Structure 1
Amino acid sequence: MEFGFELALCAALEARTDWVLARQLGGGVTDPGGRVVDVVGVVPGPEFDDRARITDRSIPGVAIESAVGVGEPRRPRDALDCHPERVDGVVDAAVDAGFFSAERRGGRRYVRQTTRYPDDWFGRLVGVENKPDLGRPGDLRRQLRLDVSLALFDEVWLATESHVTGAHLNRIPEPVGVWRFDPETGERDVVREAASLPVDGPGVELLDERPLRTDVDVVSADAKRRRRRRIAERAYGKGWRTYDFPACARCAATDDARPHCEHFDAVVDPASDCGADCPGFRPGDAADVDADALRDARTPWRRDPPGVSRRQAGLDRFR
């Protein structure tokens, strides 16, 4: 139920906003994977087109934050702040993405940025927690308390299919906005507006709660800024259509490329719902879906851009 609800919400947001959307991203700083945010919306900023021209992939945060510039090439181990065993992998990913160019001098690899990184490419980050059935809240209250106290996202929303009562609202932190969303029609009604969170200041990350004890970490504004950029980059490269269609004749793609099962007449999660053990399984070819083409056509994200690699004046002297 939650998977289909989540995909329906992503499809509706994609159709009605200019956001770059992704699902299931880490929403912590000290413990990035300790809070997984269901849907992340990246709102384009004034330099979005400059970012889109670089690559359609995620640029590694370590590469962006490194001392590598667009001028003189640097040795990666001197310029990247990460474990030595990670350096080569980060450099390879940045080169593959077109953000670094590499050359060899004296048998050693040197790198430089192919362009200045556009810090203002995204404006706001929106986090959405999906809870179709408020009668089964799970860890909802704790998750939303963390989102509000950490303030990593500019806005946090709860999306639900349930009728929202005053009692529900009283249990949800006041800054959190609430959408009532109908996955069948794509209609989204605002039950309560979200407040803007103080993303430019420090935050408090809830790490663990036990009887008589709560473990927290005070996160600096600079750490939040770096993490926000990494979330935006991850969202840009990942998108929300991250599933593979099953080799089943009864699973077809909707117009927005959600996996719809004819047998159950519902959108299904291929990773957990499909396979030879399914009573509706019928061997066949997987649906032929070009998710990147859809994303390119329906969002500001650009598929396979020309890149920004260029020859810089005077670089010959470094070869």
Structure 2
Amino acid sequence: MPTPVSSPSEFAFELALCAHLEEVTDWLPARQLGASVASPGSRIIDVCAVVPGPEFDDRSRITSRDIPATAIESEVGVGHAVFWRDAFDCHPARARRATDRAVEAGFFESEHRRGREYVRRATRYPDEWFSRLVGIENKPDLGEPGDLLRQLRLDVSLALFDEVVLATESYVTGAHLNRIPEEVGVWRFDPETGEREIVRDADPLATDATGVEPVEYESLHTDVALVSPADKRTARLRLAERAYGKGWRGYDVPGCASAGVDAVGRPVCSHFGRVVDPGAECGSNCPAFGPADPPELDRGALRDARTGWVADPDGVARRQSGLDRFW
């Protein structure tokens, strides 16, 4: 059986919170996204919730996928088509990947002239499609905090999110609040009933100021990197786009006779009578395992029905001729 990366209760708590946020807000929650800049991959936020802005509908009309930040920040414009490589100030391999993904998503239109590929934007990018990013760290049991305080201090000092929240199932005492950075909001959430109590509101963070990101922890000191406002803007754009494209139902449902999905798409087990973490709990070593076809889970249809995200937008590209590069 795979080694669990989190306890089953933490997984179930996280999914219940995401489903709750879909139900009671217009936010787009997504799970397990990178939330560091200077040291990519060193900080993974449990939930990133994207709060829609005034141009959200314009964004949803373009594509259901994420659009690469590299493509958005390139010199590719709406009117005149340019040679793809001339529009990027980065390594050609990175530019090539961004171009291909932008064409596949319908954000770029592609045409070929004398064996060279030229691209233009299919539409203007709606810069105000999201208004805030809320980072949520889940810790159902505050009696087992792990690296919680270090993670929250990083989130506050880097200020990649507009707000940072700690979500827990535990009773929150004054001693808990005193240890948690004062800028961090605190929610008490019951995954069984869906009741959410705001114990403390989150303070807004300075997302447009230089951030401080710890990158190396030593016994007597901590090495930090200063993250410029420009780098933070790019990181926030990348984070918002990845959250838009990914959502929170990224798990595989196991091929087991006991497996099923509930009304909001969470994996459940009829044998144990609860939500299960397929990556940590399911497999041939489980006593309830019985080979079967995986239950159907239409992630796109569920997300489309429960949020402002559109599974199959009409798109804005007039033509995509990039396929002929392979001939």
TM-score (normalizing by structure 1):
0.95
Determine whether 1:118 maps to 2:126.
yes
1:280 pairs with one of 279, 288, 306: 288
Letter of the structure 2 residue corresponding to residue 172 of structure 1: I
Aligned length: 311
Paired amino acid for 1:107: G
Report whether the alignment pairs 1:162 with 2:167: no
Mapped to 2, the partners of 1:206 and 1:88 lie a distance apart of: 32
**CA distance in 2 between partners of 1:298 and 1:189 (Å):** 22
Gaps of at least 5 residues in structure 1 are 312-319
Show the counterpart of 1:88: 96
Indicate yes or no: 2:70 matched with 1:62.
Answer: yes
The answer for unaligned runs of 5 or more in structure 2 is: 1-8, 320-327
Match of 2:183 in 1: 175
Asked whether 1:217 is paired with 2:225, we answer yes
In 2, Cα distance between equivalents of 1:69 and 1:107: 21
Give the one of 185, 196, 199 matched to 2:204: 196
Counterparts of 2:127 and 2:256, CA distance in 1: 44
The two structures, once aligned, show a CA RMSD in angstroms of: 1.0
Is 1:247 aligned with 2:290?
Answer: no
Separation in 2 of the partners of 1:82 and 1:19? 33
Displacement after TM superposition at 1:206 (Å): 1.2
Structure 1 residue 115: deviation in Å?
Answer: 0.6
Shift of 1:140: 0.4
| 2-structure distance, mates of 1:81, 1:4 | 43
1:309 aligns with 2:320: no
Cα distance in 2, alignment partners of residues 23 and 32 from structure 1: 17
Question: Distance between the aligned counterparts of 1:210 and 1:170, measured in 2?
Answer: 25
Q: Distance in 2 between matches of 1:150 and 1:12?
A: 27
Is the 1:208–1:214 contact (alpha carbons within 8 Å) kept by the matching residues of 2? yes
Cα pair 2:109 2:318 within 8 Å, conserved:
no
Write out per-residue CA displacement over residues 123-173 of structure 1, whole angstroms, 9 at most, x where no aligned residue.
Answer: 000000000111110000000000111111111000011111111111100
Q: Distance in 2 between matches of 1:3 and 1:263?
A: 18
Amino acid at match of 1:261: C
1:11 is matched with which residue: 16, 19, 32? 19
The reply on whether 1:41 has 2:81 as its aligned counterpart is no
- The match for 1:149 among 147, 152, 157 is 157
Distance 1:302 1:186 in 2: 25
Q: Determine if contact 2:75/2:88 at 8 Å carries over to the other structure.
A: yes
Question: Per the alignment, in what secondary structure is the counterpart of residue 54 of structure 1?
Answer: coil
Matches within 5 A, 1:24-35: 24-35=32-43
2:215 and 2:95 map into 1 onto residues whose CA distance is: 29
CA contact 2:69–2:237 (8 Å) conserved in 1: yes
Query: 1:289 aligned to 2:297?
Result: yes
SS of 1:33's partner is coil
Q: Residues of 2 paired with 1:259 and 1:95: CA distance? A: 34
TM-score normalised according to structure 2 size:
0.93
CA displacement at 1:246 relative to structure 2 = 0.6
Distance 2:153 2:118 in 1: 45
Q: Percent identity?
A: 65
Amino acid at match of 1:22: A
Shift of 1:195: 0.7
Q: 1:2 aligns with which of 6, 10, 16?
A: 10
Partner of 2:271: 263
Distance 1:74 1:60 in 2: 18
Question: Which runs of at least 4 in structure 1 moved beyond 3 Å after TM superposition?
Answer: none
